[in-house]
Amino acid sequence: MGDWKTKLIKFQTLLDDIGKSRGNLKFDKSFLAVHELADQTFCEKAAELTQALATTEDFQPTEQQLVGKMSHEKLTEDGVPISFLNIWKEIYERKNCYVHEMLLAANYQGVGILGKPDLVYFESAVPRFIFEFKFSKHYKPFANYHVQAQVYGYQLNQMGFDTTDLFYAFIIAKPRWKNNIEFVKLIPKRTMERFHKDKLYELDQSMMTFNNIGVYINKFIPEKAIKELDFCLGYWLDKRKAIPTQNKNKCRSCKVKKHCKFYLMRQDWKGRKFYDR
């Protein structure tokens, strides 16, 4: 039996274990999704309130989330759905391949973590790049983007892939690019070409643009991923309370602010609507 099949069986066993695990996390969750860890980094209190409100009518996706969802659907509409077994076979048998929304998993300190990065590029079965598409009015990557990508890298590592030379990149496009998605789809390949041509693999961080779409490239560093996981799981394992952000700009656009006692308290301290100034 080929080595990759052994790794695949191990991965399927991990998924089975996650499926059977009992909820030992907050909100009786039995596993965590990577996007939940990323949301938590934006503001832990907002992530907690979102979980608590998830079934109420107060909880509606923001316009940016809707644009992101629609654009991601368009990005993958030409993709060919293939089975688990075939994905792994393709990765190990082809010289290079791009995999959309590949299921990744890891067990960290007894907690199952599942994720689906937008795109992973493999060269000879070695993951070289994780690409995440962000349709946002903001040009720069936020800290929560990094947490998301670092945990994906950690998962790939735990699934038996060599992540020594793994990079991750955020492709950040203004929401209007959802109307020209064919151009956006070409960016990962063009990024790879320029990455090799300009020897950007010698740098831990680099950046390039394609028609005002920014591509922010970072080396995957396992120690950073572990540090983030330790911090995030402290909350989910109920070792500490949710920490509210101190960044008032985040509160301004927070969709659960009317339920947040920290937001309301800060308004009271000022005796007026501090965040609406």
Query: Which string of DSSP letters, residue by residue, matches 166-231?
Result: -EEEEEEE-GGGGGGHHHHHHHHHHHHHHHHHTTGGGSSEEEEEETTEEEEEEE--HHHHHHHHHH
In the complex with ligand SF4, the residue whose CB is nearer, 180 or 253, is 253
CB-facing half-sphere around the CA of 175: CA atoms within 13 A = 11
In the complex with ligand SF4, the residue whose CB is nearer, 75 or 260, is 260
Tokens at 30, concatenated: 């039995």
Is residue 251 part of the contact set for ligand SF4 (CB under 6 A)?
Answer: yes
The interface region with ligand SF4, picked from 31-39, 171-179, 203-211, 254-262 by CB under 6 A, is 254-262
Confirm if 123 and 162 have CB atoms less than 8 A apart.
no
Is residue 38 part of the contact set for ligand SF4 (CB under 6 A)?
Answer: no
**49, 111, 166, 187: residue in contact with ligand SF4 (rule CB under 6 A):** 49
Confirm if 99 and 120 have CB atoms less than 8 A apart.
yes
User: Taking the complex as a whole, how short is the minimal distance between the CB of residue 60 and ligand SF4, in angstroms?
Assistant: 15
User: Taking the complex as a whole, how short is the minimal distance between the CB of residue 238 and ligand SF4, in angstroms?
Assistant: 19
**4, 98, 262, 274: residue in contact with ligand SF4 (rule CB under 6 A):** 262
| Bridge partners for 169 per DSSP | 131, 217
Contact string (CB under 6 A) for ligand SF4, positions 226-245, x = contact: ------------------xx
119 in helix, strand or coil?
A: strand
User: Taking the complex as a whole, how short is the minimal distance between the CB of residue 135 and ligand SF4, in angstroms?
Assistant: 21
Is residue 43 part of the contact set for ligand SF4 (CB under 6 A)?
Answer: yes
The interface region with ligand SF4, picked from 51-59, 101-109, 132-140, 248-256 by CB under 6 A, is 248-256
Mutual angle of helices 44-53 and 34-42, in 10-degree steps: 120
CB-facing half-sphere around the CA of 229: CA atoms within 13 A = 25
**25, 34, 46, 149: residue in contact with ligand SF4 (rule CB under 6 A):** 46
**11, 31, 45, 130: residue in contact with ligand SF4 (rule CB under 6 A):** 45
- Which contiguous run of DSSP H or E holds residue 268? helix 261-270
In the complex with ligand SF4, the residue whose CB is nearer, 208 or 242, is 242
User: Taking the complex as a whole, how short is the minimal distance between the CB of residue 83 and ligand SF4, in angstroms?
Assistant: 41
Confirm if 133 and 72 have CB atoms less than 8 A apart.
yes
Contacts to ligand SF4 by CB under 6 A = 43, 45-46, 49, 244-245, 250-251, 254, 256-257, 260, 262-263
